[in-house]
Each structure stands twice: as structure tokens, then as C-alpha cells.
Amino acid sequence: MFDFEWVHFGYNIGLELALVMLWRMYRSAPPWRAASARPVGLHALTVLIVFQGCHSIEHIIKLTQYLFVPLFQSGKVPTPGLLPQVTGWPIFLVHFGFNMIVWTLMLLAL
């Protein structure tokens, strides 16, 4: 689980950086290019970047818990992350929801 968390965290940070670069290139595109679809895509990308940032923060919290909280290292592990502890939902459903929203917004933006 811990190694998978590092891989997923690295993927999320890479995706966040790629989305920010795409957003910057999209904003600097000539205004005549796909002018009718441009505001919708730009707004979708903006929401996606914010949401992906929240997803990355959730992974930072999980990694911090794994590395520095003795309870998570003792074998009696509660549900990691912030949202599962606040909502009571299983971690699988929370991250499945995060990833589905991110991919849906990417499809909408592109």
C-alpha cells in the first residue's frame, strides 16, 4: 500500500503540473481559435486544476500520516487521509470519486 501511495502521489503531481502547463498554453492561444469552445474548456480546466490540487493535498496528508504518525505505523491503521475520516466513507470510494471527477473534467475540458 505504501509503495502504491508514492506512485499515485507522483502521478497526481505530474498530472497537476501538466494541467497547469496546458492551462497556460490554452490561455495564450489566439482568440480566433475555437472561440466558441474556449470559455467552456478554460473554465473546466480551471476547476480541474483546483480539484486536482485538493486531490494532491489528500495524498500529502496520507503520506504524512504514514511517515510521521505512530498509530499508522503500529498495524492498527484507521482510514488514512482527511476526507475518509471526516465523512466516514471508505478510502476506496473517496479516491474512486476523486479520480472519476478528475477524468470526467479532463474529458469535458478537452
Question: Distances from the Cα of 79 to the Cαs of 37, 72, 73, 93, in angstroms?
Answer: 41, 9, 13, 12
pLDDT, tens digit, 9 for 90 and up, residues 19-67? 899 888 877 766 655 555 567 777 888 888 888 888 888 888 888 877 8
Domain that holds residue 43: 2-109
Q: Looking at residues 76-100, what average pLDDT do you find?
A: 75
The whole-angstrom separation of Cα 106 and Cα 109 is 5
Q: Provide the whole-model pTM.
A: 0.71
Q: How many domains are there within the chain?
A: 1
The whole-angstrom separation of Cα 20 and Cα 56 is 14
